[in-house]
Amino acid sequence: MSGRILIVDDDPVQCRILEGMLQKSGYEAVTLNNGDAALGLLTGSDGARIDCVILDLVMPNLDGLGVLARLRQAAINVPVIVQTAHGGIDNVVSAMRAGAIDFVVKPAGVERLQVSLRNALNTSALEGELQRIKHSRSGTLGFNDIITKSPAMQSALRMAEKAATSNIPVLISGESGVGKELIARAIHGSSDRRAKPFVAVNCGAMPENLVESILFGHEKGSFTGATERHTGKFIEASGGTLFLDEVGELPLAAQVKLLRAIQEGEVEPVGGRKPIKVDVRIVSATNRDLIADVKAGRFREDLFYRLHVFPITVPPLRERLADIPALTRHFLARFAAEEGKRIRLITPEALHILSTFRWPGNIRQLENTLFRAVVLAESDTIGLSEFPQIAAQIPAQPEAAPRESEQPLVPDESHAELPLAALEIEPHGAIAASLPAPAVNALPLLDAAGEVRPLEELETELIRYAITHYRGQMSEVARRLQIGRSTLYRKLEALGLNTEQDEADSEGVAR
């Protein structure tokens, strides 16, 4: 999906003007006509899907300053651009002090609005990354710090939030690189143990002969090389959370001792004379099928049921494509800041291959791919040339007509690069798949009887051709046809394609 912008203005004409400007610039617009409705949306379950707010300052009942004050009270950090017909310095100062990120005077031009939106969203993305890093290091990472718009991922996070309210053992399963440790840290950071240590252990990286020592500790001289006393991970995490990453890699001998430590709430260091009581919350993770390992005798059944009390499954990135634009935006903002580069936008072609690729390494692979792209970038635009390895693994697509807007600061109606703050993937492949592939680049003007074909029929065929040619990317279709997206959708409904469109939208959201 594109960057979703909420327009709050009691003037319906102004709302329509702004909506048209945003749609032509590659954004998705949501309009509301009063401050109370805006607060209801932003504080509700759909609030996380809003990337920026364009807020009218003067409205009846709850005005713009009132909305800003309520957002601050609710700790909602969505960037807000204030607009008003009264551009006095006092209004500007009041709005900025109340938390607005920018101020525009009506009527705002396309250029001014584009620059303001791009700066607001890029700044928000960078601030979000810095906040996540800070929370992660302090052990207070929360679920609001996890970037997602995918319903499948949000469902997993809701389960994790429920687990955070108790000390129940949690087993997080999912492919490598999907963010299992991030969820474990969010569970700890949202629990009453967040002031205590979060200790992560990679069970697959421990030498088999040192597993017991690393987990439970050892006394000085207990074995060759034990020159000093070691407390062990269980004791380090006492009072907090112990995260056992890749727990399925533990050798069977260590599984027996781990089971006893969890059951009894105490550990016995190697060479120790008496057990030590520990208060540890266990969160484990695996990328293996532990049930299959239990059946094959590679994992103890009793330990499995001790760990598998509250299972959470994290979907792979290929099943949550709706997250790719937001993840791309945040990774690019972070790496651009780290590398000292100014990355302004990513082209639709580049974003298309990111959405087409299967990502076997999931989010970790996407992160590293974008890091490489930032290093390779020689301008402020990320394009296909920055993803040679990904592009080489995707079937070649027909070449698109050269873009006239490779150098513009502001896209026009028919040619639009996607700004970094408005990355877009539209899962309308089902519509394109339902249409016949265009055989040649020619539109017959005469029917079989040699008569000129009706205008409506020609228009229908042109729209069908465009949807197929641009692989169901509806914003690109609208831009190339030089019509608004709402107009395109009305024409789709007239063509009888609204059912396929709804199915495609549902499929895209499910991902």
Per-residue tens of pLDDT for the chain, all 511 residues = 357 788 888 888 888 888 888 887 778 888 888 888 888 888 876 776 788 888 888 888 888 888 888 888 887 878 888 887 766 677 778 878 888 888 888 777 777 888 888 777 777 766 666 666 666 666 678 888 888 888 889 999 999 999 999 999 999 999 999 999 999 999 999 999 989 999 999 998 998 888 989 999 888 877 777 778 888 999 999 999 999 999 999 999 899 999 999 999 999 888 888 889 999 999 999 999 999 999 999 999 999 999 999 999 999 999 998 888 888 888 888 888 788 888 877 888 888 889 888 899 999 999 999 999 999 888 888 888 899 888 787 765 444 433 333 333 333 333 334 444 434 333 344 444 444 444 445 667 777 677 777 887 788 888 888 887 777 777 788 888 888 777 787 777 776 655 444 444 444 433 4
CA gap 299, 250 in Å, rounded? 8
Q: Quick check: bond before 251 cis, omega within 30?
A: no
| Pick from 442, 486, 444, 480: nearest CA to 463 | 480
User: Residue 2's pLDDT is what?
Assistant: 52
100, 80 in Cβ contact below 8 A? yes
User: Which residues are within 8 A (CB) of 483 and not within 5 positions of it... i.e. 6 or more apart?
Assistant: 491
429-468 burial code (b ≥16 CB/10 A, e <16): ebbbebbeeeeeeeeeeeeeeeeeeeeeeeeeeebbbbbb
Long-range contacts of 90-97 (CB under 8 A, 24+ apart): 91/57, 94/65, 95/57, 95/64, 95/65, 95/68
Beta bridge partners of 173: 286, 313
CA gap 310, 162 in Å, rounded? 10
Radius of gyration of the chain (CA): 27
User: Residue 379's pLDDT is what?
Assistant: 86
pTM score above 0.85: no
User: Residue 509's pLDDT is what?
Assistant: 39
